[in-house]
Amino acid sequence: MSFESFLDSSSISSSRPFVFDDDVLAGHAFDQREPGPDQRWSTWPAASPTERGPLPHPSWLETSAAAFDTELGIVKTGKEADVFLIERAIPDQAGCLLAAKRYRGVETSDFHRSGQYEEGRRLRRSRDVRAVEKKSAYGRSVSAGHWAGSEFAALCAAYEAGIPVPYPVQVSGTEVLLEFIGQGRQAAPRLAQTRLRGPELADPFDQVRALLIAFARAGLAHGDLSAYNLLLHQGRVVVIDLPQIVDLAANPAGADFLHRDVLNVCTWFQRRGLEVDAEEVFADVIAQLW
């Protein structure tokens, strides 16, 4: 699914799990337990196809209607959203860990540059535009849901383009569920949190250069790339935080965003003692557009 096609689709969600026909249930014994504190039924069965990640769905993903989503704590608090750790599992069975990114309304978020990012992909309905501008209660919910939908669409487009991002599991209102990148319940460190210096950064830099090229080949720029939204997990660099992704063809400032991405990451590597040429990298990346 492309970034733009997702944004054009409608999404209807429900918090209730599917109810199966009695004939399907006949002859089978099911756990009668209900979700407890800090739990809910898995939201997967209620999600429409456009609210789910790209096919094929990975084998590790728990898709049973009998699964619970259990809150395990907060991973990160941010300016526009908070990230929580969730375990999705059938009771007493092994499940999967997910990162739940939950967007806040505009009154508690920091999207002061959103107008630049939104060139070429604005809200469709004039009522929504007016509500967001007035910062009404409805407008705040529209804004949060819009950014959640934008990030989910961006993740789907990036994943399908072969860019190393967490698998986008699903979107529901203001919540985006993602593959959890980490060891056990410990989140992978951001590149800026590592102690790597000089030659130790050569391989991570090559991976970052490759993902910049992959973005460009897909006609996209991250828009806010830095060592703080690049994870390093078992030697692999994974890019996160994509709500502001930029369409290089539709956004007149696309090349500027791309150049800033390159400059930001190259400057960080230089400060850590790795000799890199930002303008040379930018030339290689921009060449992928033609």
Of 69, 241, 247, 261, the active-site residue reads 241
Residue 234 φ then ψ, to 5°: 50, 45
CA 41 – CA 68 distance, rounded (Å): 5
CA torsion sign for 279, 281, 282, 287 is: positive
Alpha-carbon torsion angle 62, 63, 65, 70, nearest 10 = 40
Give the Cα separation of 122 and 114 in Å (integer): 10
* First-residue to last-residue Cα distance in the chain: 23
Query: For residue 225, what are the contacts with CB-CB under 8 A and spacing of at least 6?
Result: 212, 239, 261, 264, 265
The structure tokens 């999600």 sit at 47
Which one from 21, 31, 128, 224 is the annotated catalytic residue?
A: 224
CA distance 8 to 123: 10
- Does residue 224 have an active-site annotation? yes
Q: What is the 3-state secondary structure (H, E, C) of 122-171?
A: CCCCHHHHHHHHHCCHHHHHHHHHHHHHHHHHHHHHHHHCCCCCCCEEEE
Instruction: Label residue 88 exposed, middle or buried (CB < 10 Å: 0-12, 13-18, 19+).
Output: buried
Give Cβ neighbours of residue 241 (< 8 Å, ≥ 6 apart). Answer: 151, 224, 229
The reply to whether 21 belongs to the active site is: no
Q: Omega of the bond prior to 56 within 30 degrees of 0, cis?
A: yes
Q: Which residues are catalytic?
A: 224, 241
